[in-house]
Each structure stands twice: as structure tokens, then as C-alpha cells.
Structure 1
Amino acid sequence: MTSTDTTPTLRLAGPDDIGTVADIVADAFDHLKVIHYLVPDPGRRRTVARDWYRLYITHAIGGAGQVVVTNDATAAAVWFDRTREVREPEGYDKHLAELAGDHLPRFQHLDLQMEAHHPSDPHWHLLFLAVRPDRWSQGLGGRLMDHTHARLDADGIPAYLEATGLQNRALYRRHGYRDMSPSTIAVTDDTVLYRMWRPARNG
């Protein structure tokens, strides 16, 4: 059987996919240091983080960007359109306080750091690129990026993201992203995100 036969197709997610995409992100991100910082309690971590992802996924699908998902629900990319006015998810502060509980100051700190270091030039923001762990290293993340990059390149629109580690940063570099200056966002002394920018390529 050829690889083409086993490679899932991609599609835009809709409202009925919100829960599924939240599960994909929760599975993919459970090991990340930044998520462990946000929710130190391992017993609550997945539930709290999943509810947080869901806020953004709902917002993107609702018109603030787009979500691309594999048809077998193994990988997803959550994008936001920052070529226009930026809006928070509806009722974000209230929902965040409800879901985060005692961990709210940690989420607020991360939000402030990410926004303070966010580029002001018009772009699309890849907030979450998630692949379920049993499908890592099979090219799904790259396919998801290529899908949206093709349209962004055609329209002359750059892209931005915050890589969560050195391995991810290497992947993004292979897909045209470059380190920015300053290159990092220090969430804590030992938890760092890497700011990366992808100029639009001529079609």
C-alpha cells in the first residue's frame, strides 16, 4: 500500500468538531512545560487545559480564523487572522476565571507575555499545531502547515507562531519560519517560547 493510501485528507473544521479538536490538542500538548506551568496539578491538568483550548478553537471556527483538521481526527491546526481587528473570545475573562480557578494568575501571566511580544504587522497566527502522540513524526504537522501556507503565500500574508521547544523550532524552520528578535518569551526562568515569523513566499 502506498503512503498516499494511508495519508488522511484535510478539511476545515466546523462547530461540530470543537470537542474533537480540543481532544487532539489536549493529547498533543499534555507533556509541554508551559502546560505544566499553567496547571501544576496533574489530576486537573488535562481538564483545565482542554477547556482553555476549547475557548480558542471555538473562537477560530466562529470567524476569527480557521481550524484545519485531518479527516481521521489525528491532527489539527488552529489559526487566527491578525490582518484585521483582533478580538478575544467572547466572555474570555469570565470563562477563563471559571475554568482556571486557583491557576488563573498563571494563565493571565502567559496571556500578558504572549500579547506583549506579539508582532504588530498584519499576519496569520498559528496558535496551536497539534498531532496525537501516536502519529508524531509522520509528517502531519507539516501537511497542515503547507495547506494554509499555500493560501497565505498566494495572498502575500506572513505567518507567526510561538514554538514550545527546540524540536518544534527545527520543524518550523524547515517550513520557512525564522527566529525573531527578541527570539524568546520567558514565561518562567525555565519555560521559554520561541517567537518565529514566516514571510510570505511568491506563489
Structure 2
Amino acid sequence: MADNFRIFVDHAVGHGRIEVVGEDAAPVAAAVWFPRTVPLPEPHDYDRRLVAACGEWTERFRVLDTLFEKHHPAEPHHHLAFLAVHPSRQNEGLGSTLLRHHHAELGPDVPAYLEASSARSRALYARHGYQSRDPFHLPDGTPFWPMWRPAGSPV
């Protein structure tokens, strides 16, 4: 799965933002954002890289991509693709630090969007002004909750 994340991290270098907490060589938390205020190209050589990264699980990741795109809002916004904190550093507020930093830079006119994958992550995002929408489900029943943070929400 790390190789799949690498595709989007590489894409964010040219078309998004990567924000980290910790040393560059050893970050302990990271957020990957894409500005969906302009058209966003697909990652370079995506199909080939997806197969190389996911192997026998490729079709499952394609289904995930399709579902995420189907439920993605059309309105201009910033999309939080990934927020990760090293397990040894969780519950220290590092994810909140990354969220507050990016929200402060959005300004009053840009909303934000993400897909939450658990009740715990939904609670974190709700504390930062995200409003949960109806969940969608993977074929195996795994839920994801689209969450929207309106423009002008307090930081």
C-alpha cells in the first residue's frame, strides 16, 4: 500500500502540497493536499504505476478511485488526500497542527474536502469544522464519510 501512496505523494510534489511535522529526513506526520480550484491532471503514468504498486489488488484500488471520484464535490476546494501520523506520535495533536496550518492558508473563500475512514478520524475532522455527509461503501462494506469544511470556517 505504501507504493500506492507514493504515486500521490509524487503527484503532490508538482500539483499539490505536502506538509510535514518533523525533520525532512524523518517526518512524524504528513498531510497531502490537492488544490481542486483548478483542473488537476491524473498522476503521470498512473495505470502502469498502479499495477506495479498494487499487483493483485489493482482492481480494488481502481474501484476505490471510481468511488472517490463519484462522490467528490464539483465545487472548487482543497482536497486532503492523506493525513498520517506515525503510530508512536499519535494523540499528540500533530494531525491537528497540520490541519490548522493549512486551513489558515486557505483564506476565507476556499472550502476543504476529505474522505474519513473511521469514527476516530471523523471526530478529528469535525473538531476542525468538517461536516459529515452520507457515507459511501466499498463493495466489501467498508464505509467512507465525505466531509466538507465550508469556506470561512474558523481556524
The verdict on a shared fold, with TM-score over 0.5 as the criterion, is yes
Is 1:74 aligned to residue 74 of structure 2? no
Q: Return the offset for 1:86.
A: 1.8
Q: Give the alignment partner of residue 174 of structure 1, picking from 113, 127, 138.
A: 127
Opposite residue 165 of structure 1, the aligned amino acid is S
Q: SS at the partner of 1:195?
A: strand
Q: Deviations over 1:169-200 (max 9, x none)?
A: 011000000012xx112013431111000012
Is 1:124 aligned to residue 53 of structure 2? no
Q: Deviations over 1:122-171 (max 9, x none)?
A: 0000010000001111100000000000011x251000000010111011
Q: 1:105 to 1:151 in 2, by over 3 A?
A: same
Structure with the bigger percentage of helix: 1
Q: Taking structure 2 as the reference length, what is the TM-score of the superposition?
A: 0.93
Q: Taking structure 1 as the reference length, what is the TM-score of the superposition?
A: 0.72
RMSD in angstroms over aligned alpha carbons? 1.3
Q: Deviations over 1:60-97 (max 9, x none)?
A: 112x1100001331000000010001211111011111
Q: Distance in 2 between matches of 1:90 and 1:59?
A: 7
Opposite residue 107 of structure 1, the aligned amino acid is F
Provide structure 1 residue ranges, at least 5 long, that are not aligned to the other structure. Answer: 1-48
Q: SS at the partner of 2:91?
A: coil
Q: Return the offset for 1:202.
A: 6.2
Give the conservation status (yes or no) of the 8 Å contact 1:158–1:199: yes
Give the conservation status (yes or no) of the 8 Å contact 2:32–2:80: yes
Q: Distance in 2 between matches of 1:75 and 1:187?
A: 27
Q: SS at the partner of 2:31?
A: strand
Opposite residue 13 of structure 2, the aligned amino acid is I
Is 1:164 aligned to residue 117 of structure 2? yes
Is 1:186 aligned to residue 137 of structure 2? yes
Q: Return the offset for 1:115.
A: 0.4
Q: Distance in 2 between matches of 1:114 and 1:75?
A: 23
Give the conservation status (yes or no) of the 8 Å contact 1:161–1:196: yes
Is 1:112 aligned to residue 66 of structure 2? yes
Moved over 3 A (4+): none
Opposite residue 163 of structure 1, the aligned amino acid is A
Aligned residues: 151
